[in-house]
Amino acid sequence: MLRITTSRSAAGALQYFNKGLTKSDYYAEKGEIIGKWQGRTAERLGLSGDVGKEQFEALAYNKDPATGEQLTVRNASSRRVGYDFTFSVPKSVSVVYGLTKDNEIYEAFNAAVQETMLEIEQNAATRVRSNGRNENRTTGNLVWGTFTHDDARPVGGIPDPHLHQHVFVFNVTYDDQEKRFKAAQFGDIKADGAYYEAVFNSRLADKLQKVGYQIERNERDFEFKGFGRSTIDKYSNRTREINQKAKELGLTFAEDKAELGAKTRANKRDGYDKEDIRLQWRSRLSEKELELVHTAKGEPPPGGGTAVEKKMGRAREAFDYALDHSLERKSVAGEKELLILGLKRGIGTITPEDLEKELASRKDLLSNKDRKSGEVIYTTPEALAEENRLRDSARAGKGTFQPIHSDYQVKNEMLTAEQTAAVKHVLSSKDFITVVTGDAGTGKTWSIKEVAEGMKEKAVTFGAFAPSSAASREVQRGDGFENATTIAELLQSKKLQESVKDGVIWVDEAGMVGNKTMNQVIKVAQEQNARILLTGDTKQHGSVERGDALRIIEEFGGIQPARISKIQRQKVDAYRKAVENISKDQVEKGYQLLDRMGAIKEAPDFEQAKVNVAGEYAASVKAKENVLIVATTHAQGKAVTETIREKLKTEGMLRGEEKRYAVQKNLSYTDAQKKDRANYSEGMIVQFHQNVKGGIKRGTKYQVLGKDQNGDVLVADEQKNRMVLPVKAANKFSVYRKEEIELAQGDQIRITQNGFSNEKKRLNNGNILSVVGFDQKGNIIASTGKNEVTVGKNFGNLSHGYYTTSPGSQGKSVNRVIIMQSTMTGRAASKEQFYVSASRGKFAISIHTDDKQQLLRSVQRSSQRMTAGQVASSGQQPERTGLDKLKVIGSIYRTAVSKVANLKDTWQNKTVGIISMIPKPPQPIKHAPVRSK
């Protein structure tokens, strides 16, 4: 493990040196640990050998240890002193080292740290601001001190074994071009922390195996072979303490937990002898576990490693896994991301060098360099082909239908001019795919209701579909489209497909549809001689699935959408103007308007922000307001939920005795993760959502028991029938972790997966129910707002329903929206997230944070993804076969024909006044005309 913590003051760094770095976490000879200087900058400064207090203090205060002169030009009080890189071994390695003191474990660990730090140093950089430039320049030198500890901070008096090394890197580097010391740029290094962690773990596993230890890969890194969770948990007190505090604070990301670990350190304590501590550690283990410790080390493998041919095969397998995992939900992936995933998959079997060789040898990938980061971005011909099919279908479908109702007279007088134009655009369209885009809250669905009326006059079938149950069965049905359902149901049901024959397939929230799914919808439409109507907004959240289909069709498919931009949802002028600015990419201006409204509420810390959210929510519920809480991460949402429930109890809004229910949290594994047996551990739940050969029925649940001698995953159903999990059917099941929640009368619950009540009434994913009570069997009696249903006590797929995340809120409209967005939101914060979250309310909005300035910075970053076409446009192309070349020629020809047709349409539109008097020959229709009365 690697955690990187920022040191923000010289005084704080010096205190850390005196009380942390140079002191054992619990015991040592004379209580002191001697650090060692390393790094090329250390050599330039004349630092070597032991780290002295005076030298450390000088660097902390930005002074040359030899001369006492100021080291870097800028010496602001806000300067960052340095960064603590903490490298830790897996818990089983710490336990074996703590009980055996095998020096070969220490040597392997120390070498892995040193090699990783040398790689980090190679990427060291400084900021260049001279002559109008504002960029980073690689310097390749740093200075750091290393301090090795072998135990953890005590929890409850006794420390746990924990072999780790603090590498304190000072914020200084030497710029050889400017010939002076300057502050280093650590932003990219911190951002690549997960990569360096994977490199360290890979090197450590390789070195431990070379001296005779056998390892087993798990979902995070590895452990020594044979060490189960129950043994490891006996030595994990400090980890549990940090994770519990992280849960309370709604922390998700590793960098936030690293900062938390530094803040929650207990004071060091004296009075324990080394041998006493070791005896206490031994006492926690059974005889069988002690035997495991002392037999963990065997004979080193012959030749010191694995054969080259076998290694390269394993590197190929690991890299294929990285591609499959990463490109399941997006079209492109960065080099570092692929290396991280590949190193984790191949841990113990390959080294970073093996994987880099494999990447360099791949001729089947498309690549390009990202202009902002400089990182190489990769995609596959398959991902590019998906995008090309979308583009080509849109282009080929232009002008292939007759208008549905070009002379339709709009009946709804409440429609704006933009909405009316959109209605006429759809009903007059001659294209296979027609698009209506609009900002959040502009009344796109309101316009489509009028479109449906026009189609009804011409007896054209109009099918309403959306990506999610909430968007279709709640929003669309709530707007009058009674038979609306999910796209998934359309793709699975032949009856539904036949129902749209010669009609129109309307896909709402099309911006959340991926490339594969959209291509499947197109195939259905072509088979049924139907056309497609897409509505959505490419500025909001994209799809979970790979690709942004609506954006590709809009930008590259030659489709001119009707656009609705006037916002209707917000009824308060200042609020509406703020959302308008955010929608126009003027995020800072929109933020400032919200702040002037008093909507942005800053608390001194996350704890107080939670209390403020809970108070506002309780007051809104009392006032019977239609209110929605949007949390930027599930971790923050769960933390806020606990505070809300406590508030509701004190207000008497939660009543009666609480009951505990087992629930299951979907781990959202990709198919690649589900096929990887290392990702399964005892107690997990597997639920099938499709039938599988061998008698496995849709809806059946299995519990993971462990693994057999071959490493296959063993599971058992509710009747205790055992079987090996068919991981090859990964696309037909989901994997869950068991959790527990407490419920009382008055609680809000959310359904997290489609299912049925005990009365066989459908429960849709995303449904919010209110707990009315409990029956004698422990089943939950809940209200849907219209009627009561019984949710079985073993239903499992539910959670508290007090918040939604930003993607889950898309499409919703409420009177008051409360947004929880602390500084610990991390990468979940973005321009798109802020736009969606802030635009949900009609009358009121509040945004709760613990740092206004950090909030503003975080929401100006876009999360929009590159397309495969953008990577392929000027990047490295794979070698093409003769058939591939013919396909390319055909594609170029089709594109040219499409462009000529587009130019012709444009010319005709501009000269319509002249040519309208000239009789035209009838246009050929490729598809059958729409039915008329």
User: pLDDT tens digits for 684-731?
Assistant: 999 999 999 989 999 999 999 999 999 999 999 999 999 999 999 999
Based on the fold, state whether residues 29 and 148 are members of the same structural domain: yes
Q: What is the pLDDT of residue 20?
A: 76
Q: Taking a C-beta distance cutoff of 8 angstroms, is the pair 172, 65 a contact?
A: no
In degrees, rounded to 5, the angle at the alpha carbon of residue 617 between the alpha carbons of residues 614 and 622 is: 125
Based on the fold, state whether residues 372 and 486 are members of the same structural domain: no
User: What CATH number is attached to the domain comprising 419?
Assistant: 3.40.50.300
| 43 vs 925, more confident | 43
In degrees and rounded to multiples of 5, residue 905 shows phi and psi of -60, -45
Q: What is the pLDDT of residue 462?
A: 97
Question: Is 763 among the domain residues?
Answer: no
Q: What is the dihedral of CA 766, 769, 774, 779, to 10 degrees?
A: -20
Based on the fold, state whether residues 405 and 334 are members of the same structural domain: no
Give the C-alpha separation, 561 to 394, whole Å: 12
Which positions ≥6 away from 484 have C-beta within 8 Å?
A: 464, 465, 466, 472, 473, 476, 477
Per the prediction, the chain carries an average pLDDT of: 88
Question: Is 903 among the domain residues?
Answer: no
Furthest CA-CA distance within the chain: 103
Is the pLDDT score of 254 beyond 60?
A: no
Kindly report, residue by residue over 581-625, the tens digit of the pLDDT.
999 999 999 999 999 999 999 999 999 999 999 999 999 999 999
Q: Taking a C-beta distance cutoff of 8 angstroms, is the pair 479, 449 a contact?
A: yes
Is the pLDDT score of 271 beyond 90?
A: no
Based on the fold, state whether residues 98 and 215 are members of the same structural domain: yes
User: What CATH number is attached to the domain comprising 348?
Assistant: 3.90.1150
Based on the fold, state whether residues 229 and 327 are members of the same structural domain: no
Is the pLDDT score of 309 beyond 60?
A: yes
Find the distance separating the first CA and the last CA of the chain, reported in whole Å. Answer: 70
Q: Encoding tokens for residue 880?
A: 């093409």
Which residue, of 317, 351, 379, is where some domain finishes? Answer: 379
Which residue, of 379, 398, 429, is where some domain finishes? Answer: 379
Based on the fold, state whether residues 73 and 222 are members of the same structural domain: yes
Residue of 118, 166, 119 whose CA lies nearest to 2: 166
Q: What is the dihedral of CA 332, 335, 337, 343, to 10 degrees?
A: 130
Is the pLDDT score of 520 beyond 90?
A: yes
Based on the fold, state whether residues 693 and 615 are members of the same structural domain: no
Question: Is 403 among the domain residues?
Answer: yes
Is the pLDDT score of 175 beyond 80?
A: yes
Parent domain of 644: 569-654+746-752+797-873
Is the pLDDT score of 308 beyond 90?
A: no
Kindly report, residue by residue over 398-407, the tens digit of the pLDDT.
999 999 999 9
Q: What is the pLDDT of residue 478?
A: 87
Which positions ≥6 away from 535 have C-beta within 8 Å?
A: 435, 436, 437, 438, 444, 445, 448, 506, 507, 508, 509, 510
- Of the listed ranges 45-54, 736-745, 792-801, 909-918, the one predicted with least confidence: 909-918
Which residue, of 511, 537, 564, is where some domain finishes? Answer: 564
Based on the fold, state whether residues 341 and 425 are members of the same structural domain: no
Question: Is 597 among the domain residues?
Answer: yes
Based on the fold, state whether residues 55 and 166 are members of the same structural domain: yes
Q: What is the pLDDT of residue 673?
A: 98
DSSP string, 662-679: EEEEE----HHHHH-GGG
Q: What is the pLDDT of residue 160?
A: 87
Is the pLDDT score of 871 beyond 90?
A: yes
| 291 vs 130, more confident | 291
Tokens 């055996």, residue located: 100
DSSP string, 370-404: -TTT--EEEE-HHHHHHHHHHHHHHHHTTT-S--S
Q: What is the pLDDT of residue 307?
A: 63
User: What CATH number is attached to the domain comprising 291?
Assistant: 3.30.930.30
Q: What is the dihedral of CA 107, 111, 112, 116, to 10 degrees?
A: 160
Q: What is the pLDDT of residue 255?
A: 46
Is the pLDDT score of 839 beyond 50?
A: yes
Counting the structural domains of the chain, the total is 5
Tokens 């890197």, residue located: 169
Three-state DSSP class for residue 151: strand
Is the pLDDT score of 223 beyond 90?
A: yes
Question: Is 767 among the domain residues?
Answer: no
Question: Is 923 among the domain residues?
Answer: no
Question: Is 71 among the domain residues?
Answer: yes
Give the C-alpha separation, 442 to 807, whole Å: 18
Based on the fold, state whether residues 400 and 475 are members of the same structural domain: yes
Q: What is the pLDDT of residue 370?
A: 84
Q: How confident is the model at residue 156 (pLDDT cuts 50, 70, 90)?
A: low
Based on the fold, state whether residues 464 and 409 are members of the same structural domain: yes
Average pLDDT over residues 658-685: 96
Based on the fold, state whether residues 168 and 188 are members of the same structural domain: yes
Question: Is 348 among the domain residues?
Answer: yes
User: What CATH number is attached to the domain comprising 675?
Assistant: 2.30.30
